[in-house]
Structure 1
Amino acid sequence: MTGVGKGGDRVPGKGFSGPKFPVPDLQVPDALETDLGNEVDGEVRFDTGSRALYATDASNYRQVPVGVVLPKTTAAVIKTIEICHRHGVPIVSRGGGTGLCGQTCNTAVVIDHSKYLNNILEINFDAKTARVQPGTILDHLRDRAEEGHLTFGPDPATHDHNTLGGMIGNNSCGIHSIMAGKTVDNILELDVVTYDGIRMRVGQTSEEELNRLIAGGGRVGGIYKGLRELRDQYAELIRERYPQIPRRISGFNLDQLLPENGFNVAGALVGTESTCVTVLEAKVRLVHSPPARSLLLLGYPDVFTAGDHVPEILAFGPVGLEGLDDLLIAFAKKKGLHPENLTLLPEGNGWLLAEFGGESKQEADDKARRAMDAISRFSQPPSMKLFTDEQEEKKIWQIRESGLGATANVPGMPLSWPGWEDAAVAPAQIGAYLRDFKALLDAHGLIASLYGHFGDGCIHCRISFDLFSHDGVRNFMAFIDKAADLVVKYGGSFSAEHGDGQSKAVFLDRMYGPELMEAFRRFKSLWDPDWKMNPGKVVLPYIPDQNLRLGVEYNPWQPETHFHFPDDEGSFSRATLRCVGVGSCRRTHDTFMCPSFLVTREEKHTTRGRAHALFEMFRRDFLKDGWRSGEVREALDLCLSCKACKVDCPVNVDMATYRAEFLSHYYHHRLRPMPAYSMGLIGLWSRLGSFMPRLANFMLHAPVLANISKMLAGIAPERTLPKYSTETFTEWYHRYHKPIESGSRVLLYTDTFNDCFFPETLKAAHEVLIHYGYEVEILPQRPPAARPPLDYGMITYAKKQMMRIIDALSATVRQGIPVIILEPSTAALFREELPELAPQHLDGQRLTRLTFLLSEFMERERLDPPKLSGRVIFQPHCHQKAVLDVNAGRSVLTKMGLIVEEPQKCCCGMAGSFGFEKDKFQLSMKIGELALLPAVRAAGEDSYVVADGFSCRTQILGGTGRQAMHTAELLAYALRGGH
């Protein structure tokens, strides 16, 4: 038997002032892992790395699980539960892991449905229904349903990566619930299994059917008998005590058992947060989706006034009505989120976003305009702005949906956390409630932006709780205690879509009273008499300051680092707190991050999973090996260092930097894998290769020698290595360049990749710049390559190379001469990593300011590109998209007259030398095959293929046989009249 440790105390009494009782250590039988591994068709993981990944969710809480199971079939779920029941070990289900109240982490066996059980089993467009597995991502269902102009109504902000199982567990809602209701209103049937193995298909139940089931006896009959007794005993109290508001989510849905709701057992189980049953399948209702939308923005003096006017705006029948305050906009500006979008807002300090739907764009627009006409006649009308363009509407919704990202990790502000982030009141009381809530925040010295689903009375916020100190945690507890009373005063609900978990559940008796709390306990006991389903959540819960991820015991390791982490108080451990667990990195389509997750669907290959592993490393109480942690190295192994998370993550986690920092210490005084020496030191090898290119090419491409070379270098045998040019651009320049006396000076940077392998790109850039009248200079010698060693964690060596580069360029940058770089990864090195590694270096600062891609330089100088007609497939380099100005690249191509298509939003899969490595080749190609390589193959010869990154061009060539052009080459081609 293995002891997992105490889960903390739970409180059965009112609030958190009642007597506590200890939870005994959970003793896990040694045979549990063996039995699961032998009998379950799935992946069984009890290793410390996997358990660390699932120790927390998007909440303030952390509980290390017993183990993790990823079942491949429904039968495997049932078998997992059977084995856990046999050994008396608790279980908890998990989908996207985005729970904000701690409901998807526990000292239990975590069943992750998302990797395999994610199928849409059936869509019946005529009946307007669908059958789905619990791991199905909401947007996957919505995309399929839209084929019949249908949708699943509830749509939380996490709609592109949350799962239907999680939505059922939480009773989720979202922006359009005023159109279609909560999840409970859209569930027709559930296929469920209890902890003791009873499988049932439940839904609405007629009295005749109810009597028949009870008469059948056994465990099923006993459940239905107990449910009927609950209904009969508590019906009037349920009608009296349940808040009559659109968004009552807290507590169990015992109201679904009432006769007027058809004794809906499925509805009663929605929102039980994995504390009663495990959902195996759901039959859901689909509703008509108005194909056309228009968005009306209303600006008010403040968010309180906006709240006052919610009932008036609801009268016009919007399909969505959201609210924003000025603080959210101020935070978004500080973080640089969607700056161009923020300018679209009408005048005001509080806003309502009213979306109208119609069968045609004209109908939707007419509804919005009729509302505008009526609103303009109000005694004090708001400012108004109608958006009918789909792209502009999308930009406005980006502002709203980035609420969590905008309010987390704001520069110059204290960190903010969930804890009281989705309370709801009646829509008519929003203004008054917000004023009282703001006063409560002020009284406790707390800051929070207020936004949310105002049409349903739901208020979202992240609050600046101090969860690090004793006094801070006391203030947190005192605040939520009073906030609970405030919600009850307004007849509201503590939760409006995120659930109770353990953060709010202790207050439920204030909403419902002791009798209904007893009914909740009886309801759980009917389904889970062993109390092994997600124990300590919703009923008999842990109190809100237990199991805190931080808390007064949090004292992270603070080692010295190479990077300065200027935006995180100079601390790597503080940087790991950036990840708030929202899981945007789990998106599966039309996304930049995380390329490896898009193929593997593994939590450890998400930005969140890697950040959680690093967080556990700095805690040092579970992953105890520090820089030598094999678990962290494994989690970071398939990070492509693409920096997508730097821009695509709502809180700007920079995993490429974290990876480089970790690897530098992990391999200190250790031999690195061979690719680190063969590819990471390519600058050294290329100096030799370019000196004797024919010999180098013979060694790297002769049939037998090439295989030996690749084997020794750790390079995939399937890869064809690029050939060294017989003449570098540097050599060509010194022979053929003729100075232009009168031209403005620019320095063309001769990076290793283009100078040694593709000098044609530098020649093309030279031609283009000469055409525009610039005097093109280069360094006397090719500068060293600093990016490859940095990506392999050779930071000390890379920094020395960077200092050599700065020294070589100092005379140039001191004169303010632009440095034009064709390789985006090199440009990103000077713009991104250099300031973090040498923030006080003045010449380094000058280089950062003066570094430009060719497209960026052309946009800055307002150079009109030559005209060229046709279609271009454009694959920007990842660093170009993440930390440079990718819009400049698109703009230049568009101004040329080309139709620009970008088939793949994420990395091409090569990622520098990543795709060359033997053990990463297959993953690299699968990433490329997501969209890019098929699009290139399908493109006709009359279409251009453009990729500025050396790695991107190499991937395209290797995967399709087609040589992509650099933007410089396309410009030169156009200047020559298409020759």
Structure 2
Amino acid sequence: MPLTLTSDRFRSLRDGGIEVDTAPRRLSEYSYDASNYRVAPVAVIFPRSVADVVAVARFASEQGIPLVSRGGGTSMAGNAVGAGIVLDFSRYLNSIHSIDLAARTAVVDAGVILSTLQREVAASSNGTLTFAPDPSSRTRATIGGAIGNDACGNHSVRHGRTSDHVLALDLVTTAGIRLTATRTGLQATDQADAAAVTLASTLTAGLRQLAADHLTEFRLELGQIARQVSGYHLSHLLPEHGFDVARSLVGSEGTCAIVVAATVQLVPQPQAALLLSLGYDDVVDAARDVPTILAFSPAAIEGIDEAIVQTMQARRGLDSVQGLPAGKAWLYIDIDGDDPVAVAAEGEKLLARLRENGRMRAGRAVPDLAERASLWRVREDGAGLSARLASGGESWPGWEDSAVAPENLAAYLEDFRNLMAQFDLTGVIYGHFGAGCMHVRLTFDLRSAEGRQIMDDFTRAAAELVVRHGGSISGEHGDGRSRSALLPLMYSPAMMGAFAQFKALWDPNQLLNPGSIVAPEPTVEHLALTDVPNRAWRTSFDLTPVGQHGSEAGSGLDPFSHAVQSCVGIGRCRSDAGGVMCPSYRATGDEKDSTRGRARVLQDMIRGSDTVQAGWRSEDVREALDLCLSCKACSSDCPAGVDMATYKSEFFDHYYEGRLRPISHYSLGWLPRWLKLTGLMAPLVNLVLSSPLGTLIARLGGVTTKRRLPRFHAASAWRRTLSPSLSRQASTGPADVVLFVDTFTRGFRPDVAGSAQRVLQSAGKTVECSAEACCGLTWISTGQLSTARRLLTNVAAALDDGTDRPIVVLEPSCAAALRKDLPELVPTAAARRVSKRIRSFAGAVTELAAGGWQPTWAGGQAPNSVTVQAHCHEYSVFGANAQKAALTAVGIRDVLEATGCCGVAGNFGFEKDHYELSMTVAEQALAPALRALPPQQAVLTDGFSCHMQVQQLDPNRQTHHLAQLLDPARTASTQPKDTP
């Protein structure tokens, strides 16, 4: 039975200043990790100090409440969820206390993100040292989580596991006593604490006796291969290993003690590295070459298959994967050292040897840093990319990271593929080929009882298979709820008894992460997709999965349910660097404001669970979505393709049905309607808004008074910027290009229309303008979808003219709406035809340059450098490199991109309740970029929101649209203007 407690039971903790959250929405967010499981906690606690952890441990011990330690919540084995209290260390307990370069050590809190530690170590050591473990989740996984699972990473061939780099662990026991485990024993953290001294002595005696009683089992069954992560690492207690208590606890998944801090070893960082990219016909052929590669002492041997690559390209564009040779499976080999010439020579020797083997289809060195980053991102996003494939299918963990000795890998994979065929399963295979550790996501049907039984039977058979090959059930992610029940297939009864004794010595009341490793529940218990009602959720967006392929094909699974279930908990939205997602989480650090947190609350809404109820009327869901900026970055940055902006629009459309909306939904959401009025009397409107009356109007409209308001233009202003030859060109027949002059351009930046027309004409194109329709963007972002659908239906009718002429849209957000939202809200053939013709202006420039056109620059040559605020919608719908590609194509060598949401995001940053967060988001990329620029240097801001944020942050800064930058009418003394 689930454990239930009233919030009053936690009053003593709250009175002590400890942050305890028992809200239904919060419990939903923490009911999941990155596994197949869902277990609702009774409370989530955010400790700010070790003293808080001690108090919580004592409280839980007295109350008999289980405790689950959690870092980034990226566990794929279900070992970061539980029915008691979840302790989230990532939010506050995340300090780096010291970095000792001479000793090559660091002392860090459990909640420190791995990539943050690596970044700080690199900065302190001038790039000469690093913390070695680098799992693909390192940008959101914590030190505590890495210790819990004994994480490894891409370079484990060289550096091994986390346990190889842990020197000491600061612990809090289940009784709330502080101990420190070292490489040679166990001691009280504070020698003046008599209870801690006594417990350390008692535990030491018990652990020594445990090792003495099981010398044979520890020596024969443990530590047999490099990636033997399953079970407890008790061989470290053996005399020959120096009674290494610290390492015996690494990989214990929070079941023995609470890790609050660690002292870790740092390693030298080679100063030269080269990536080799190798193509094979399949993963078995690739595995057969691993022993040859290992003889060259590489730092990494990682592999992927074609399904992952195809999904990355489908989601982020063909240019998102660069540098792959011919093949259907690929290996990445990192060769490193201190001499670049020697490293390159070693790479060529390896390639020559592999050609002699005859299995490699093609191979090449990848010296270009951009190509290397592109390739590594494909590998690192493998878990999410394989969850929802480009084909429309879905796959799940469950047999996620088995491991064998590398020399046995090819034989194991052959047998494993045969086993999949026996169960009529397919899988996406990728992972750490050099360490013999394979990640596999399989096409289990977790929604049906039959499918869950197949998963149970398959994992048991797979466990027996890997053991026959001398391997480990888990090679990296731990046992957790996925594999703990399978441990008796790998270990003897005596060893299983030793595991239970080890757990009991540390946690006699069995309160720490119960169900992992010792006394587990069946593998199919608590699966998140069990008993999820398959009701029809009426939606405005067409969210039908691509092709209806995969395990859900023909099952009648509701498209909205399928869409929100696409979040599998990978947690890239919690990363603090790289990409754009998720700006609100980066600003607040609260799981509530991550894409994952929002998706989990939506998933519980669909379940009709005890944590989140009321369906479309759920206040919990509305609260979770409140700070979503609708930037759309998640739709491309999220490896699983979660599109929270769309889900937010859909939810708000239902939530506010028959209700009075926030006033900003009328003032800002209806902006195109107001622009028709302001266009008739723009001078008067500008005069009023610049007076004290304008402040009152802003307040009444729900608009912040802290932000500069834009100036309005006359309705005909944009037409006066056009070339006189436009009408003559259009009259001679269909023009080459349709220039869609959107509402924002017409109302606020009319000069951009004329500039764009002249750029297109300079490339020899005839241009036809279309300006009477609206893309409905402001209604979409505020969830007023009936109006948006009507407007988009009109757009489709107006633009579907029987030609395939490109439609060039000046405002990136409008272009994105017409490309993506149009066919989803108006699922007609006409809408689909129009959607395919849409180009952002940057995309159009790239196409023109590919055809041989180059602009005529003022002064005769292109600017040396340009700074760009990348627009989120263009980034997500048209590709992360849309602006950079355009600028590079026209000869600009140095492009500095402020990659990150500007913070305005349409109406969001203008709403009074969101202004402060908007400015905090701007500090992630845009504001620092502006401060680093010379005052006279202009910034490229194709998006009107981005333009307004730049003006807010730096009122004297000049901004250009790309069309204005390329406008042939410009001279050296004439700058483009976008204000009246």
Change (3 A) 1:556 1:76: farther
Q: Give, as a single letter, the amino acid of the residue that structure 2 aligns with 1:601.
A: G
Match of 2:23 in 1: 47
Per-residue deviation, 1:585: 0.6
Partner residue of 1:653 out of 642, 660, 673: 642
Check if 1:62 corresponds to 2:34.
no
Match of 1:229 among 209, 212, 232: 209
| Counterpart in the other structure of 2:396 | 417
What corresponds to 1:768 in structure 2? Answer: 759
The 8 Å contact of residues 243 and 492 in structure 1, kept in 2 or not, is answered as no
- Equivalent runs, 1:599-748 vs 2, <5 Å: 599-622=587-610, 623-702=612-691, 704-726=692-714, 728-730=716-718, 732=720, 739-741=727-729, 744-748=735-739
**2:56 corresponds to 1:77:** no
Q: What secondary structure does 1:162 align onto?
A: coil
**Does 2:245 match 1:265?**
yes
Give the 5 Å matches for 1:300-339: 300-329=280-309, 332=312, 335-336=314-315, 339=318
- 1:15 maps to what in 2? none
Question: Match of 1:85, SS?
Answer: helix
Using the TM superposition, give the Cα deviation of residue 755 of structure 1 relative to its aligned residue in structure 2, in angstroms. Answer: 0.9
Conserved 8 A contact 1:122-1:132: yes
**Distance of 1:373 and 1:746 partners within structure 2:** 51
Q: CA contact under 8 A between 2:574 and 2:582: conserved in structure 1?
A: yes
- Map of 1:855 onto structure 2: 842
Does 1:555 pair with 2:533? yes
Partners of 2:401 and 2:578 lie apart in 1 by 28
Seen in structure 2, the aligned counterparts of structure 1 residues 734 and 636 have a Cα distance that, compared at 3 Å, is same
Q: Partner residue of 2:816? A: 828
Change in CA separation of 1:184 and 1:396 when aligned onto 2, cut-off 3 Å: same
**TM-fit CA distance, 1:940:** 1.6
CA distance in structure 2 between the partners assigned to 1:526 and 1:921 by the alignment: 53
Q: Which residue of 1 aligns with 2:383?
A: 404
Query: What are the Cα deviations for residues 125-170 of structure 1, in whole angstroms up to 9, with x where unaligned?
Result: 1111111111111111112222421111221111121111100000
User: Secondary structure of the residue that 2:334 maps to in structure 1?
Assistant: strand
Deviations 1:473-492 (A, max 9, x none): 11111111111111111221
Equivalent residue, structure 1, for 2:555: none
Paired residue total? 947
CA RMSD across the alignment:
2.4
User: How far apart are residue 338 of structure 1 and its match?
Assistant: 6.2
Instruction: Check whether the contact 2:942–2:961 (CA below 8 A) recurs between aligned residues.
Output: yes
Residues 1:442 and 1:838: Cα distance change in structure 2 (over 3 Å): same
SS state of the match for residue 28, structure 1?
coil
Cα distance, 1:261 vs structure 2 = 1.6
CA shift in 2, pair 1:201/1:887, >3 Å: closer
1:804 aligns with 2:801: no
Deviates more, 1:909-918 or 1:151-160: 151-160
Q: Which of 121, 124, 132 does residue 145 from structure 1 map onto?
A: 121
Larger CA deviation: 853-862 vs 222-231:
853-862
User: What secondary structure does 1:846 align onto?
Assistant: helix
Please tell me whether the aligned partners of residues 866 and 974 of structure 1 are also in contact (alpha carbons under 8 angstroms).
no
1:871·1:943 contact (CA, 8 Å) conserved in 2?
A: no
Match status 1:891 vs 2:871: no
8 Å CA contact 2:183–2:242 kept in 1: the answer is: yes
CA offset at residue 974 of structure 1?
Answer: 6.8
Classify the secondary structure of the residue corresponding to 2:822: helix
Mean Cα deviation higher: 883-892 or 605-614: 883-892
Q: 1:116 is matched with which residue? A: 92
Distance in 2 (CA, whole Å) between partners of 1:144 and 1:473 is 44
Structure 2 CA distance for partners of 1:460 and 1:784, relative to 1, 3 Å: closer
Structure 1 residue 306 displacement after superposition:
2.2
Aligned to 2:482, what secondary structure does the other structure show? Answer: coil
Which amino acid in 1 is paired with 2:934? Answer: G
Q: Deviations 1:693-712 (Å, cap 9, x if unpaired)?
A: 1222233221x212211110
SS in 2 for 1:724: coil
Q: Are 2:794 and 1:845 aligned?
A: no
Hey, what does 2:492 align to over in structure 1? Answer: 513
SS at match of 2:214: helix
Tell me the distance in 2 between the aligned counterparts of 1:64 and 1:304: 40
SS of equivalent to 2:115: helix
Aligned equivalent of 2:971, options 970, 976, 979:
976
The 5 Å alignment of 1:463-478 reads: 463-478=442-457
TM-score of the superposed pair, with normalisation by structure 2 = 0.93
**Contact 2:68 2:86 (8 Å CA) reproduced:** yes
Residue of structure 2 equivalent to 1:12? none
How many Å separate the matches in 2 of 1:734 and 1:947? Answer: 21
Match of 2:942 in 1: 948
CA distance in 2, matches of 1:700, 1:891: 39
Distance across 1 between alignment mates of 2:894 and 2:93: 37
Cα deviation, 1:890-940, whole Å, max 9, x if unaligned, reads 233234443444443221000011100111001101111222123223312
Asked if 1:188 corresponds to 2:167, the answer is yes
* Aligned-partner residue type, residue 346 of structure 2: K
Which deviates further from its counterpart, 409-418 or 770-779? 770-779
Change beyond 3 A, Cα 1:302–1:713? same
What is the identity percentage for the equivalent residue pairs of Structure 1 and Structure 2?
38
Q: 1:389 to 1:808 in 2, by over 3 A?
A: closer
Match of 1:920 among 900, 903, 914: 914
1:36 and 2:13 aligned? yes
Conserved 8 A contact 1:139-1:160: yes
- Hey, what does 1:279 align to over in structure 2? 259
User: Which residue in the other structure is 1:249 paired with?
Assistant: 229
Kept after mapping to 2: 8 A contact 1:71/1:111: yes
The one-letter amino acid paired with 1:170 is N
Task: After TM superposition, give the deviation of residue 857 of structure 1 in Å.
Answer: 2.2
Instruction: Check conservation: 1:82, 1:196, Cα contact below 8 A.
Output: yes
Deviations 1:71-106 (A, max 9, x none): 122222222222222322111111110011110011
Provide the residue aligned with 2:342 in structure 1.
363
Going from structure 1 to structure 2, the CA distance change for 1:735 and 1:216 (only over 3 Å counts) comes to closer
For 1:865, the equivalent position in structure 2 comes to 855
Structure 1's 600 and 169: CA in aligned 2 closer, same or farther, altered over 3 A? same
AA paired with 1:749?
Answer: F
Q: Is 1:934 the equivalent of 2:928?
A: yes
Counterpart amino acid of 1:317?
S
Distance in 2 separating the partners of 1:606 and 1:401: 20
